[in-house]
Amino acid sequence: MLNSAIAGFLFLTYGNGVFVWALKYVDSGFSSLLVAVQPLVILVLMNLFYKQKIQLKSIIGIVLGITGIAILVSESGLHYTPGSFVGVIMIFTCILSWSFASIFVSKRAFPKKSLMDASIQMLSGGFFLLAGSFLFGETHLPFAEWTQKTAMSMYLLTFFGSIVAFTAFNFLLRSVSPEKVATSGYVNPVIALVLGWYILDEPISYQLLIAALILLVGVYFINSSKSVT
């Protein structure tokens, strides 16, 4: 349970909480490009701490993933604002936190029930975030003032984004190598493209299709590589 609480802090309090704060200084497109290096960071950390060999297929997959994200976000352009340097540095620390937590979960003992493990992580991560919010004097919008769209978004994020996805994420970390699990960062943009097209009638250009194809090929290369220690 202590390991779950530590993972919750690394994943959610620092990895997610500080990342959201850094988005005040770095636009979402540029931040998604930075996050694309996470599988590489995990591979480097695994090599440093556990002497795990870095396979050529994994490197090819990561390069393709970064390339795909770059093509994806370049369509709308990358925007820099005053304070971007600080934001970039903080995002890199968040990537390190999330990467270290991914390795931590894959190597340490945790509650056997995946839902129990994920719930402890989310409760501890949420507690530290709430404490930080009070510490910095942040205000919140009362539930009664939420719009219907806001409420629906929160319900969907809570059920699918947290309970389902985060539980599955932790389960996979104990089943396959962490860099393979990190490829979700390459799959999510492709799913977002399809949903945006299907639900919101957003156009999909040839550039976006090429980016999506490169991302999926990158995921294939990483997941087809064998974990060698």
In a 10 Å sphere around its CB, with 0-12 CB exposed, 13-18 middle and 19+ buried, how is residue 14 labelled?
A: buried
Q: Which residues contact 19 (CB under 8 A, 6 or more apart)?
A: 31, 90, 91, 94
Q: What is the pLDDT of residue 229?
A: 45
Q: What is the pLDDT of residue 114?
A: 85
Element (H, E) at 213: helix 206-224
Q: What angle do CA 190, 67, 100 make, to 5 degrees?
A: 80
Low-confidence ranges of the chain (pLDDT < 50): 229
Cα separation of 222 and 225, whole Å? 5
Q: What is the pLDDT of residue 76?
A: 65
Q: What is the pTM of this model?
A: 0.83
Cα separation of 20 and 28, whole Å? 10
Q: Tens of pLDDT along 164-223?
A: 999 999 999 988 889 888 888 888 888 888 888 888 888 888 888 898 899 899 889 888
Give the CA distances from residue 53 to residues 47, 59, 129, in Å, rounded to whole numbers and listed in that order.
6, 11, 36
Output helix, strand, coil percentages for the chain, rounded to the nearest 5.
Answer: 75, 0, 20
What's the DSSP call for residue 113? S
Q: What angle do CA 175, 49, 36 make, to 5 degrees?
A: 65
Phi-psi category of residue 6: left, alpha or beta, with phi > 0 → left and psi -120 to 50 → alpha: alpha
